[in-house]
Structure formats: structure tokens, C-alpha cells
Structure 1
Amino acid sequence: MRIIQSIQNRIYEIRGERVMLDKDLAALYETETKRLKEAVNRNIKRFPTDFMFQLTKEEWEAIRYQVDMLESNSSLRTQFASSKRGGIRYMPYVFTEQGVAMLSSVVNSEKAISMNIAIMRAFVEIRKTLLVQNDLKEQLRLVKNKIGEHDAQLNQIYDALENILDEKAAQRKWEDRDRIGFKK
């Protein structure tokens, strides 16, 4: 279960897709990122843009802090190909769930096969969690609507009570007034 949690921490949301970085997959498969990319490039027809795409600089900057934090706390420490200034030379590729599944047919080692199974399980767990969250959101929305209805009803009750109290106060004032005219 620990490995699945570790994998889930490496799944990011980019362009509305849940994806994994090429370097994280290479580390999980116990291979070099360069070798993973070579295997993909030899079989590029298997990886359409909905299976794999390259990050833009903006997308990379958006997740870079998360990646750096994860790497500083992780045993899966790998490095991107670096330039002399310490930046990355190439923008990373990311793989969607279908792309990761396709990788199993491209990277063929015992470690890759077992890791692919764990990765698929991690994606399934995330999907289950999202379904539960969506269910909870729907329940909260229903409760909020119900409370809104109750607020309106309570306001009507409050207004009716206020009107009754105003009528009673007006009636009391009428009965307690000084009488004019002949008194017995």
C-alpha cells in the first residue's frame, strides 16, 4: 500500500488530465529517463497526444515546486538532464493513464511489469477517491439547498410572529389609552 501512496503522490493534474512525469516512471521502472524516452520514440505511433505530451515551460513551472518537495522527501531521487546553469535542458514528457498502460508494451522488464500493475492500481484508487469526493460534494449541495429552504421558511415564521406581536402591542395601546368624555 505504501508504494501505491508513493505513486499517487507522483500523479499530477495537467490540462485536465491526471499524468505522471517521464522521470518518475523511469525511476519506478529502475531505468534511466533517457532509455525510457528512447523506447517511446522507437514506438512513437503507440503514443498519441492523449497518451503522452510534452510540458510547456508554464506547466513545468506550475508543478515544479511539488516535484522538488516530493524529491527532497523521496527515495526516488532522479535528475532531469541539466544544463550548466542548473536548469532543465528538455521539458519533461508526461503520460496519461492510457500512456502508462501503453508503456507496459514498450518497456519490457520484470520491474516495469510489476510497477505498471501498481501504477494502474494507484490510478484506480484516485478515481475511487474522486468518486467519493464528488458524492460528498453532491450531498453538501443538497444540504445547503435544504438549509436555504429552511431559512426562507424560518423567515416567514419570524415575520408572522412579528406581525402578531405588533397587533398585540397595538391592541394593548388601544385598551390602555386615556378615555375621553363622560366617565361613570
Structure 2
Amino acid sequence: MFRLTEIETDFMVSQNAIPFKQHLGGSLPYVFTEHGVLHLAKVLTGERATQMSIRIIEVFAQMREALIDNLSLKLDIEEIKKKLTSHSKNIELVFNYLDELIEKKDNEKPRKQIGYKPDTE
């Protein structure tokens, strides 16, 4: 069990987890970690307390899954960004080569023909 900071409490209020700061009586709230909830479940023996402890542990597990999924999505997005950047550079390089070829064609000098030349006299 530990106490939230002022910033964390403001965040809780902004997320509607706590109605407003005065609801707390002017003090910062205490919160439990997942392990703290497990210890609390061992101490409390009432049926309702046991059900709530189980539900809280399930919520912690869901939060952990969501964080892992979120992290893997962020990693996938970063990988896609890197690929897109690489593809953009490659496409830009192709267009630069095409521009060079077009410039060479525009500045082309007439070439002397080679091969068999019939007498036209």
C-alpha cells in the first residue's frame, strides 16, 4: 500500500475515478498494488470482501494484458514507420534516377550512324 502523489490524484480526478479532491477530505489517497490486494484478501474473511478482492485481482490482470497489448501495438507501429521511411527514401531515389534519365535524353546529341551506307551517287 502506498500514497498517491498530487499529480496522480489530479489524474484520478480527471479520469473520473474520484469525483473531486474534496471528496478525499483534503488528504492524498492510499492505493494498493496487486500484491497488496492479495494480502488484503487473506485478512478479510467476509463473503463480499472475498468477491471484491477476486474482482480487483481480475482487473489487475486485465490491466496487465492491456498494457502488454498496447506495448506490442506501439512496437508494431514503430516498425511500420521505419519501413515507410525506408520505402519513401527508395521511391525518392527512383524518381531522382528518372529525372536524371530525362535530363540526359533532353540533352542528347545526334549520333553518327554506323553500319552499311549505300552509295547514293
Could you say which TM-score interval applies, normalised by the shorter chain? 0.7 to 0.9
Larger Rg, first or second structure (1 or 2): 2
Q: Percent identity?
A: 28
Structure 1 stretches of 5 or more lacking a match?
1-51, 70-78, 81-87, 176-184
Moved over 3 A (4+): 56-59
Q: What SS is found at the alignment partner of 1:68? A: coil
Change (3 A) 1:56 1:141: closer
Change (3 A) 1:161 1:89: closer
Q: 1:120, 1:161 → 2: CA distance?
A: 61
1:56 deviation in Å?
3.6
Structure 2 stretches of 5 or more lacking a match?
111-121
Q: Give a deviation string over 1:58-91, Cα, whole Å, max 9, x none.
A: 432332232218xxxxxxxxx54xxxxxxx1432
Change (3 A) 1:102 1:154: same
Flag the structure with higher strand content. 1
Read off the aligned partner of 1:131 and give its amino acid letter: I
What is aligned with 2:85?
148
Read off the aligned partner of 2:34 and give its amino acid letter: E
What is aligned with 1:129?
66
What is aligned with 1:64?
13
After TM superposition, the score normalised by the length of structure 1 is 0.52
Q: 1:56, 1:139 → 2: CA distance?
A: 33
Q: 1:134, 1:59 → 2: CA distance?
A: 21
Please tell me the root mean square deviation across aligned C-alpha atoms, in Å. Answer: 1.9
Read off the aligned partner of 1:155 and give its amino acid letter: E
Read off the aligned partner of 1:62 and give its amino acid letter: F
- Whether 1:104 and 2:41 are equivalent positions in the alignment is yes
After TM superposition, the score normalised by the length of structure 2 is 0.76
Q: How many residues align?
A: 106
